[in-house]
């Protein structure tokens, strides 16, 4: 029966976490790109539809305006035709009366020539009446000519309106087809958005599952780190490449270096210890928070406030190195234990001055165990 060692378990967990994180990053990236593309396409299509509807409304108004104008022209043409027919009847009546008067005038002139005793007043009346009828006939002829010209213009206008109406109908039909096509695309896009929404819900569900698993793995990894800190502390020495560092605890070396220069040989050790203890207590004091919130690359984080009075006095009195040591301890305390305000142990790569990975700690621990076993076997052979 095979067992999984602690090292193998940590490696498996680390690989699982990395794999899940990679899947999660790919899903989030695909999700973000899809949402942007669909949103842009949807906005563009909605804009086109609104513009098309606006154009359709304009052409629809123009179309109905053409219909109304055409109807009015037809009614006006019918009225003019009726008036023209009436005037033609009047003209015909005047022409008949004129011919009759001409005949009467000729008869009267013949009678004048044949009979001298014809009544001159009667002849004068006939001539006057004939002149009036002739003048009326002339006026009516001019009116008839004007009406005929107006009727021709009206007919031309009606033909132009009919052509515009036909063009408006054609354009309106084209716009309706375009609108139907856009509506079809919008329906397809809405369906696609609905499908993507379902995918997004599935992705969010998977994201939540992966997040929970990630928290569980991180918790297991942190428990593993804590177990290594508790169980392997004896393997690490002061000269070890990998070891345990207490985060938030002051580095005493800068204090010792400054105190050696400032104080006598008898006093510098005590003074250094007092200063370290004093500033460690300040760092542990939850009422002292020498930080300011700043923003970088769209993210907010807390940085040391260089204008803090205590830090300024420390820098002026003890120098740059002591000031940096206190700032480093403050940052570590704020990061690792801002609420409790006491130093906490952490696995550390002293060679590269950074937090050590589990892989590094396990590899180093296994190497140390192999070295110890080898040393033990050597001692037994010698003994």
Instruction: Read off the tokens for 118.
Output: 């014809």
Q: What pLDDT is stored for residue 220 in this prediction? A: 78
| Domains located in the chain, CATH noted | 6-203 (1.10.287), 236-382 (no CATH)
Q: What pLDDT is stored for residue 282 in this prediction? A: 93
Distance in angstroms between the alpha carbons of the first and the last residue of the chain: 36
Residue 189, φ and ψ in degrees, nearest 5: -65, -40
CB 33 within 8 A of CB 244: no
Task: Please tell me the distance from the alpha carbon of residue 140 to that of residue 146, in angstroms, as a whole number.
Answer: 10
Query: What does the DSSP assignment read for 225-282?
Result: HHHHHHHSGGG--TT-SEEEEEETPPPSHHHHHHHHHHS-TTTHHHHHHHHHHHHHHH
CA–CA distance from 198 to each of 30, 37, 190, 201 (Å)? 14, 16, 12, 5
Q: Which residues pair with 223 in a beta bridge?
A: none
Helix 120-231, helix 6-114: angle, nearest 10 = 180
CB 61 within 8 A of CB 142: no
Residue of 53, 35, 56 whose CA lies nearest to 45: 53
Q: In the 8-state DSSP scheme, what is residue 356?
A: P
Instruction: Read off the tokens for 380.
Output: 């037994």
Task: Please tell me the distance from the alpha carbon of residue 309 to that of residue 312, in angstroms, as a whole number.
Answer: 5
Q: What pLDDT is stored for residue 323 in this prediction? A: 95
Burial class (CB in 10 A: 0-12, 13-18, 19+), 18: exposed
Residue 81 CB partners (closer than 8 Å, separation 6+): 151
Q: Which residues pair with 303 in a beta bridge?
A: 292
The tens-digit pLDDT sequence of the chain (383 residues) is 334 455 555 566 666 666 766 776 777 777 677 777 767 766 776 776 677 667 667 766 766 776 676 677 667 667 766 766 776 776 677 667 667 766 766 666 566 556 545 556 666 766 676 677 667 667 766 766 676 676 677 667 767 767 766 776 777 677 677 777 777 877 787 777 777 777 777 777 877 887 787 778 777 777 877 777 777 666 666 677 888 888 999 999 999 999 988 887 668 888 999 999 999 999 999 899 999 988 887 777 889 999 999 999 999 999 999 999 999 999 999 988 888 888 998 888 888 888 888 888 888 888 877 877 888 888 777 76
CB 165 within 8 A of CB 67: yes
Specify the pTM. Answer: 0.47
Alpha carbons within 13 A on the beta-carbon side of 362 = 15
Task: Please tell me the distance from the alpha carbon of residue 256 to that of residue 237, in angstroms, as a whole number.
Answer: 22
Task: Please tell me the distance from the alpha carbon of residue 217 to that of residue 195, in angstroms, as a whole number.
Answer: 32
Q: What's the helix, strand, coil split of the chain in %, to 5?
A: 80, 5, 15
């Amino acid at each position: 029966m095979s067992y999984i060692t602690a090292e193998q378990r940590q490696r498996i967990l680390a690989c699982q976490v990395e794999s899940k994180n990679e899947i999660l990053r790919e899903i989030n990236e695909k999700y973000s790109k899809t949402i942007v593309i669909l949103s842009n396409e949807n906005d563009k299509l909605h804009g086109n539809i609104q513009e098309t509807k606006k154009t359709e409304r304009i052409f629809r108004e123009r179309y109905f305006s053409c219909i109304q104008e055409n109807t009015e022209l037809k009614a006006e043409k019918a009225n003019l035709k009726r008036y023209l027919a009436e005037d033609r009847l009047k003209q015909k009546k005047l022409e008949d009366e004129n011919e009759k008067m001409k005949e009467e005038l000729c008869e009267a002139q013949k009678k004048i020539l044949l009979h001298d005793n014809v009544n001159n007043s009667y002849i004068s009346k006939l001539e006057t009446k004939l002149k009036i009828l002739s003048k009326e006939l002339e006026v009516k002829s001019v009116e008839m000519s004007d009406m005929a010209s107006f009727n021709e213009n009206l007919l031309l206008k009606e033909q132009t309106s009919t052509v515009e109406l036909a063009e408006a109908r054609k354009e309106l039909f084209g716009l309706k087809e375009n609108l139907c096509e856009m509506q079809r695309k919008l329906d397809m896009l809405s369906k696609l958005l609905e499908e993507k929404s379902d995918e997004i819900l599935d992705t969010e569900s998977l994201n939540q599952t992966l997040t929970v698993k990630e928290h569980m793995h991180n918790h297991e990894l942190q428990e593993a780190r804590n177990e290594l800190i508790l169980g392997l502390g004896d393997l690490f020495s002061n000269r070890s490449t990998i070891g345990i560092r207490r985060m938030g605890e002051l580095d005493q070396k800068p204090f010792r270096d400054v105190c050696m220069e400032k104080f006598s040989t008898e006093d510098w050790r005590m003074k250094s210890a007092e200063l370290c203890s004093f500033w460690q207590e300040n760092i542990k004091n939850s009422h002292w928070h020498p930080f300011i919130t700043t923003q970088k690359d769209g993210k907010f984080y807390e940085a040391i406030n260089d204008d803090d009075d205590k830090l300024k006095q420390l820098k002026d009195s003890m120098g740059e190195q002591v000031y940096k040591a206190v700032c480093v301890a403050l940052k570590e305390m704020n990061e690792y234990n801002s609420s409790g305000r006491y130093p906490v142990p952490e696995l550390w790569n002293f060679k590269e001055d950074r937090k050590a990975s589990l892989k590094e700690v396990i590899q180093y621990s296994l190497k140390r165990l192999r070295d110890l076993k080898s040393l033990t076997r050597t001692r037994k052979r010698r003994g």
